[in-house]
Amino acid sequence: MTNRHTATYWIGFSVILALLVVAPLVLPEFWRRFLTEILIWGLLAMSSDILIGYAGMISFGHSAFFGLGMYGAAAALLMVRPPNLWLAIVYGLIGAGGVALFVAYFSTRLRDIYFAITTLIFSQIFYVIIFTWTEVTGGENGLTFSRPALAIPGLFSVPFTSATLHWFVLAVVAASYLLLRRITQSPFGMVLQSIRENEPRTRAIGYPVERYKMVAVMLSGLFAGLAGVLYAIQNRFAAPDFVYFLVSGEAVIFNVMGGMGTLVGPIAGAGFFLLLRELFSRFFTEYYLIPVGVIFIAMVIFMPQGLLGFARRWLNQ
Amino acid sequence: MDAVLQFLEAIPYDQILIQTVNGIVTGMILALVASGLTLIFGIMDVVNFAHGELFMLGAYVGVVVMAATGNFWVALILSTLTVALLGAALQLTTLRPLIGRDPLTTILATFGVSLVLQNYALWQFGPVARKIQEPFTGYFSLFYLDYPWYRLVIAGLSAAIIGGFWLFLKHGTYGIWIRATTQDRVMAQAMGIPVPWVHTFVFAIGAGMAAASGVLFGPLVGVNHAMGLDWVLKAFIVVVVGGMGNLGGSIAASIFISLLEAYASIWVSPAQAVIVSFVVLVLTLLFRPTGLFVPTPK
């Protein structure tokens, strides 16, 4: 039984991965870019799923991690000549990790609604700092930079095309997925889920709940920062809008739409949201959030499991 | 000694006094917004993310009624009633089905509502800020400034609305129902109080209060579709600092936070002054997570 389940799971994973690998070869430019973007937002949503779906903490502060990842990448790409892809990732992770440490230290002392509100306020603190510190961050205009080359030192160095960028993002997202899946299935992940189910009992058994939560927030922040770096590389800019809490809200929407606690669900949710946005932008232009918001509310009420929620147990086995 | 004297002389007393008045005026408006929010939280465990949007819609309805009738007070009353009705409708359609589920789902639902309302306002009224004409334009002199009477009137009116509401909670039959439901939902139901309707009613009152503050505040700044976000953030801070679900605490916290922000903006830009209230929130949560203005829980 378990063997069959494992086999089906990995076959399904490989098929989807293969489809995503082939996709840029057959899709037109617009949809190629669109798919890459879904993967990046999916990574952000997946990172917040660690908190929402597994540890039961709704974070409205993921925009801070995402944005600091962007600005970290911008710092590496603007200050170091020639621009280096790997250095951008390292800087981005340092930026996001630093913020995550700060947020984790303070906000994990609180639960439920208080956690959501504090993370929201923290992301706004970073937003205000970035928005007003014009000399360093470029203020409202943000920073623009050129895209680094895809390079492995000593081996090769080629400029990114939209297809290679897609494959690079796909590789990062797939690796992150496998890593996060492994983490959620590890004893650490089990403790997180037990915190979600019953925090006092977890504490009573003897687990240092606060420490687990802090590690969870930091882990989540690092992956959100990674998504920020990828987004910065794809779009060649960093802007304060991406630190604003509406981005965190979108990450939460992706989770709810796709199915919390499944890891792949949030990616599907991001895809669903972006498709809806694309569809409704045709009719409602920039007011697409009106119908999308209504669909979101309806899903919260009638379909709290999300699109992939029905497969939750199966995916986590 | 000299240093102390120099320091004392360097304090801009006139500015501090002006900012004290400003802080109290914004504080009273904020208290009006936050008391609705804290009431809604206290009675049904709903963190209403859409509260800022109700404030914003209230201001817009005020703009529309002002344009039609030209009377500020009619606009104030009509806008309060309209948004209260809208609030009741929202509660019936989106929050009532969520009763009994995890309180966190209400954050999600109201966040969706806030997105819809905000974009609706952008669609209906466009991105250009509108202005509500002040009902009267008298000034009195405060140092080198001509300080508008209207600002003081707003503070007074907000205080009157909150005071009236407090009396209603204390002595009105329905007010007693509300307090009973806050204390013990199940017991209140057993006593024959129609708890679901109390929820709807409270949400409507909260929405109406937000709308009233929107109209009152409209003449001071422009009315635009994004104004709700700033206010809901501030109201969250106030509600947490004052102690969730505690009416008196959130009023005290509103004035406290607004005063701090007003003083801070003597030295830094108003955009950066917001950080002061963020810091107050963080410190509160660290050292006194139940709120600053509540008695220590035993």
According to the model, what pLDDT value does residue B296 have?
61
Contact A289 B119 (CB under 8 A): yes
Mean pLDDT for A212-230 is: 91
Nearest to A301 among B109, B274, B282 (CB): B109
From residue A20, alpha-carbon distances to A265, A272, B278 in Å are: 16, 16, 43
The predicted pLDDT at position B295 comes to 67
Are A243 and A64 in contact, with CB atoms under 8 Å apart?
A: yes
Number of domains in chain A: 1
- B136 DSSP 8-state letter: -
Return the ∠ at Cα A264 (arms to A56 and A225), rounded to 5°.
Answer: 70
* B123 contacts on A by Cβ (under 8 Å): 284, 287, 290
- The answer, yes or no, to whether residue B215 has pLDDT greater than 70, is yes
Q: What's the rounded mean pLDDT across residues A204-223?
A: 90
Select the more confidently predicted residue: B221 or A234.
A234
Residue A85 confidence (pLDDT) above 70: yes
Q: Smallest CA–CA separation between A289 and chain B, in Å?
A: 6
Give the CATH number of the domain where residue A71 resides: 1.10.3470
Question: At residue A77, does pLDDT exceed 70?
Answer: yes
In the predicted structure, residue B7 carries a pLDDT above the cut 80: no
Q: What is the per-residue pLDDT across A36-66, written as a single tens digit (0 to 9) for each? A: 889 999 999 999 988 888 888 888 888 999 9
Q: Which of A129, A289, A299 should be substituted to probe chain B, the one whose Cβ sees the most B Cβ atoms within 10 Å? A: A289
* Residue B96: closest C-alpha in chain A: A301
Closest CA to B107 of A101, A119, A40, A271: A119
Instruction: Tell me the per-residue pLDDT of B98-122, one tens digit each, with 9 for 90 and over.
Output: 877 777 788 888 888 988 888 888 8
pLDDT classification of B177: cutoffs 50, 70, 90 = confident
- H-state helical runs in A80-161: 85-107, 112-132, 134-137
Under the banding of pLDDT at 50, 70 and 90, the label for residue B135 is: confident
What part of B 157-186 touches A (C-beta under 8 Å)? none
**Which of A110, A125, A288 is closest, CB to CB, to B278?**
A125
B78 Cβ contact list (under 8 Å, min separation 6):
B61, B65
Alpha-helical (H) ranges within chain B are 2-10, 13-44, 51-69, 72-90, 103-125, 149-171, 173-183, 185-190, 195-217, 227-242, 247-267, 270-287
* Interchain contact B153–A (C-beta under 8 A): no
A288 contacts in chain B (CB < 8 Å): 119
Q: Report yes or no: B127 at the A interface, CB cutoff 8 Å.
A: no
Residue bearing the bigger pLDDT, B98 or A156: B98
Q: Please indicate whether, in this complex, the C-beta atoms of A124 and B233 are within 8 angstroms of each other.
A: yes
Are A160 and A147 within 8 A, CB to CB?
yes
pLDDT band at A14 (very low <50, low <70, confident <90, very high): confident
Distance from CA of A229 to the nearest CA of B (A): 26
Q: Across the interface, which of B120, B233, B237 has its CB nearest the CB of A290? A: B120
Complex ipTM tops 0.95 = no
**Most B CBs within 10 Å, among A119, A290, A292, to test the B interface:** A290
Coil vs helix vs strand at B251:
helix
pLDDT of amino acid A105: 85
CB A112 within 8 A of CB A196: no
Cα–Cα distance measured from residue B13 to residue B20, given in angstroms and rounded to the nearest whole number: 10
Q: Is B116 on the interface with A (CB under 8 A)?
A: yes
Strands A237-238 and B139-142: unpaired
Kindly report the average pLDDT of chain A as a whole number. 84
pLDDT band at A223 (very low <50, low <70, confident <90, very high): very high
Biggest alpha carbon–alpha carbon distance for chain A: 61
Across the interface, do B240 and A116 touch by the CB < 8 Å criterion?
no
Contact B108 A300 (CB under 8 A): yes
Torsion from C-alpha of A119, B285, B161, B217, nearest 10 degrees:
-40
pLDDT digits (tens, 9 = 90+) for B233-256: 888 888 888 877 777 888 888 888
Query: What is the reported pLDDT for A165?
Result: 84
Residues B59-98 pLDDT 10s: 899 888 888 887 888 888 889 999 999 999 988 888 888 8
Instruction: For residue range B259-287, list pLDDT tens digits in order.
Output: 888 888 888 777 777 888 888 888 887 78
For chain B, give the mean pLDDT: 83
A74-78, A264-268, B40-44, B171-175: the lowest-pLDDT one:
B40-44
pLDDT of residue B1: 65
Buried b (16+ CB within 10 A) or exposed e, B33-46: bbbbbbbbbbbbbb
pTM over 0.90: no
Out of A110, A124, A289, closest to residue B115 by CB: A289
Please indicate if any CB of chain A lies within 8 Å of the CB of B283.
Answer: no
Residue type present at position B91: Q
Return the number of CB contacts < 8 Å for A and B.
104
pLDDT of residue A111 exceeding 80, the answer is no
Residue among A299, A295, A297, A298 at smallest CA distance from A309:
A299
CA A84 – CA B294 distance, rounded (Å): 54
Nearest to B286 among A106, A113, A124 (CB): A106
Residue type, B275: I
Among the partner residues B104, B275, B286, nearest to A125 by beta-carbon distance: B275
Q: Indicate the residue of A109, A293, A304 with minimum beta-carbon distance to B115.
A: A293
Query: By CA distance, what is B112's nearest residue in A?
Result: A293
pLDDT, position B189: 82
**Cβ contacts of A284 on chain B, cutoff 8 Å:** 123
Crossing angle of helices B195-217 and B173-183, in 10° steps, is 110
Q: Which of residues 52-91 of B touch A (CB under 8 A)?
A: none
- The answer to whether B239 touches B30, Cβ cutoff 8 Å, is no
Chain B residues inside the 8 Å CB shell of A129: 275
- Between these two residues, A156 and B236, which has the higher pLDDT value? B236
Nearest to A240 by CA among A256, A227, A228: A228
Please tell me the least confidently modeled range out of A169-183, B50-64, B94-108. Answer: B94-108
What letters, b where the CB count within 10 A reaches 16 and e where it falls short, cover A219-258?
bbbbbbbbbbbbbbbbbebbbbebbbbbbbbbbbbbbbbb
HSE of B111 in the Cβ direction (CA atoms, 13 Å)?
A: 24
Q: What are phi and psi of A18, to 5 degrees?
A: -60, -45
Residue A106 has pLDDT above 70, yes or no: yes
Q: What's residue B85's pLDDT?
A: 92
Residue A117: which domain range? 2-316
**Minimal CA separation from B171 to chain A, in Å:** 31
- Does residue B113 belong to the interface with chain A, where contact is any CB pair within 8 Å? yes
Contact residues, chain B, for A289 at CB < 8 Å: 115-116, 118-119
| pLDDT exceeds 70 at position B297 | no
- Lookup: tokens for B111: 């966040």
Q: How far apart are CA A289 and CA A266, in angstroms?
A: 19
Percent of chain B with pLDDT over 90: 5
- Inter-chain touch B47–A113, beta carbons under 8 Å: yes
Q: Report, as an integer, the average pLDDT of A198-214.
A: 88
Nearest by CB: A300 against B109, B281, B282: B109
Inspect the interface and report whether the beta carbons of B271 and A293 lie closer than 8 Å. Answer: no
Residue A158: which residues within 8 A CB-CB, separation 6 or more?
A149, A150, A151, A164
Q: Give the model's pLDDT for residue A278.
A: 85
CB contact under 8 A, B285 and A118: yes
pLDDT at res. B193: 83
